[in-house]
């Protein structure tokens, strides 16, 4: 399916929107902005359309897709039973960066859910995404619009890098707001469980529905526990250079479960990273550093990438994936990053950064 002519339109271009709707209705592929990352959309109820998504991304077919809707009522068309907890979460967080897993009805094909009897559903808040769903009159299956294994796209140009020649239309809505994928919560078990951390945190969920578990595979990624979200088992977001995170103590798991009661000595981290950079540069390697805004002036490295302020981790989330893509463009051999584990969002950021690093951490 390579060498399709890929057309790019601005998200507010009416002609582009009409073209996108036409493409989706004829089972083609449209990339569109959401508030989290760009999605690669197709008709969720048509297996052949969904199959095109897997082909364009090079995605393993056991990795299910999220179905995007524009009206909470649509949940009842797709899910067999909708527990009270689901209704409460929908009311609290939709439209927004939360995906809920429910038991699926038969109209949702196995080709969309990777053969699972459950379905992931999300109502995004981005106006272009909502318009596309409403105008097409479809439910839109959409994973992140990257080639499998690359960082999720947070700008239309990232989508174009990965998908040109493979999809019909890209709607360009500019840089997304959040920058990391939605929180996924499974509501099919006795206790709700977070399968992927995101902008909607554990405590935000617990404020609405009471106790929420975290998938054990997220807490102990080193051990051989199979994650409940099939996509979480893959080494996602890996840059071509070898990425290492430098940290002062191992706090990542606690962080996902909201324990923010630690402090980090950044002087030690900066010194260690400078030492590592110097060592590799002396060996003739090209090296990059991912630094927080407040430490930027303390590094000696020719490729310094500024991630945002570590005290305001939403700024880090917004930039993380584009920085990982920049590392690829620079063709660096080694990348050293500070850990961005402060605050509740820190857990979601570290989940992505650790995956990108293949869990490689130097603890000092």
Tell me the site size for Mg ion, rule CB under 5 A: 1
In this complex, which beta carbon is closest to Mg ion, that of residue 144 or of residue 188?
144
Tell me the site size for ligand TXA, rule CB under 6 A: 30
Label residues 91-109 b or e (16+ Cβ within 10 Å = b). Answer: eebbbbbbbbbbbbeeebb
Closest CA to 286 of 336, 320, 321, 212: 336
State yes or no: residue 144 binds Mg ion (CB under 5 A): yes
Phi, psi torsion values for 262, nearest 5 degrees: -145, 160
169 to 198: interface string for ligand TXA, x by CB under 6 A: ------------xx-x----------xx--
CB 103 within 8 A of CB 73: no
Omega into 95 within 30° of 0, i.e. cis?
A: yes
State yes or no: residue 36 binds ligand TXA (CB under 6 A): yes
Closest CA to 128 of 17, 7, 8, 15: 17
**Whole-angstrom Cα distance, residue 363 to residue 256?**
18
* Cα 66 to Cα 120, 127, 138, distances in angstroms: 5, 18, 14
In this complex, which beta carbon is closest to ligand TXA, that of residue 181 or of residue 338?
181
Contacted entry of ligand TXA, Mg ion, none for residue 184, CB cut-off 5 to 8 Å set by kind: ligand TXA
Least distance (Å) between residue 130 CB and Mg ion: 20
Least distance (Å) between residue 63 CB and Mg ion: 9
List 229, 291, 339, 345, residue binding ligand TXA (CB under 6 A) = 229
Q: Where are the strands (E) in the chain, listed by range?
A: 7-10, 30-32, 39-43, 66-68, 98-103, 118-122, 140-141, 169-172, 183-186, 193-196, 213-214, 242-247, 287-291, 303-306, 334-338, 361-363
**Whole-angstrom Cα distance, residue 227 to residue 248?**
27
CB 102 within 8 A of CB 81: yes
Stretch that binds Mg ion, among 62-70, 87-95, 142-150, 207-215 (CB under 5 A): 142-150
State yes or no: residue 99 binds ligand TXA (CB under 6 A): yes
Taking CB atoms, the residue at the shortest distance from ligand TXA is 231
In this complex, which beta carbon is closest to ligand TXA, that of residue 154 or of residue 248?
154
In this complex, which beta carbon is closest to Mg ion, that of residue 111 or of residue 143?
143
List 230, 260, 286, 304, residue binding ligand TXA (CB under 6 A) = 230
Label residues 338-357 b or e (16+ Cβ within 10 Å = b). Answer: bbbbbbbbbbbbbbbbbbbb
State yes or no: residue 337 binds Mg ion (CB under 5 A): no
State yes or no: residue 183 binds Mg ion (CB under 5 A): no
Contacted entry of ligand TXA, Mg ion, none for residue 133, CB cut-off 5 to 8 Å set by kind: none
**Whole-angstrom Cα distance, residue 97 to residue 115?**
24
Contacted entry of ligand TXA, Mg ion, none for residue 121, CB cut-off 5 to 8 Å set by kind: none
281 to 320: interface string for ligand TXA, x by CB under 6 A: ----------------------------------------
* Cα 290 to Cα 201, 332, 339, distances in angstroms: 24, 12, 9
CB 29 within 8 A of CB 40: yes
Least distance (Å) between residue 331 CB and Mg ion: 24
Rg (CA), the chain: 20
112 to 131: interface string for ligand TXA, x by CB under 6 A: -x--x-xxx-x-x-------
State yes or no: residue 339 binds ligand TXA (CB under 6 A): no
In this complex, which beta carbon is closest to Mg ion, that of residue 126 or of residue 280?
126
Contacted entry of Mg ion, ligand TXA, none for residue 64, CB cut-off 5 to 8 Å set by kind: ligand TXA
Q: Helix, strand, coil shares of the chain as percentages rounded to 5? A: 35, 20, 45
Residues in the site for ligand TXA, rule: CB under 6 A?
A: 34, 36-37, 39, 63-66, 99, 101, 113, 116, 118-120, 122, 124, 142-144, 181-182, 184, 195-196, 228-232
Residues in the site for Mg ion, rule: CB under 5 A?
A: 144
């Amino acid at each position: 399916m390579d060498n399709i002519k890929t057309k790019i339109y601005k998200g507010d271009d009416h002609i582009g929107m009409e073209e996108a709707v036409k493409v989706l209705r004829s089972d083609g592929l449209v990339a569109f902005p959401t508030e989290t990352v760009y999605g690669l959309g197709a008709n969720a109820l048509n297996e052949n359309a969904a199959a095109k998504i897997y082909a364009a991304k090079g995605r393993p077919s056991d990795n299910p897709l999220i179905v995007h809707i524009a009206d909470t009522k649509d949940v009842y068309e797709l899910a067999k039973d909708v527990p009270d907890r689901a209704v409460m979460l929908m009311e609290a967080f939709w439209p927004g960066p939360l995906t809920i897993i429910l038991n699926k009805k038969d109209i949702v094909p196995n080709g969309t859910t990777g053969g699972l009897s459950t379905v992931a559903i999300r109502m995004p808040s981005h106006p272009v995404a909502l318009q596309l769903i409403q105008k097409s009159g479809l439910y839109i299956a959409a994973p992140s619009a990257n080639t499998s294994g690359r960082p999720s796209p947070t700008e239309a140009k990232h989508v174009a890098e990965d998908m040109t020649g493979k999809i019909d239309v890209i709607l360009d809505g500019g840089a997304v707001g959040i920058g990391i994928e939605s929180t996924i919560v499974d509501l099919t078990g006795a206790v709700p469980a977070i399968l992927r951390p995101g902008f909607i945190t554990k405590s935000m969920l617990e404020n609405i529905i009471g106790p929420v578990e975290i998938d054990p595979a997220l807490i102990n990624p080193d051990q051989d526990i199979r994650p409940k979200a099939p996509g979480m088992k893959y080494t996602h977001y890996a840059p071509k250079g070898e990425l290492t995170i430098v940290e002062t103590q191992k706090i990542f798991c606690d962080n996902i479960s909201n324990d923010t009661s630690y402090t980090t000595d950044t002087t030690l981290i900066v010194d260690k990273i400078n030492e590592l950079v110097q060592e590799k540069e002396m060996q003739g390697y090209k090296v990059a550093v991912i630094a927080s805004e407040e430490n930027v002036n303390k590094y000696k490295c020719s490729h310094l990438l500024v991630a945002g302020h570590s005290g305001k981790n939403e700024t880090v989330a917004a930039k993380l994936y584009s920085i990982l893509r920049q590392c690829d463009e620079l063709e660096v051999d080694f990348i050293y990053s500070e850990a961005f584990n402060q605050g509740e969002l820190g857990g979601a950021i570290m989940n992505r950064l650790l995956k990108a690093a293949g869990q490689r951490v130097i603890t000092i």
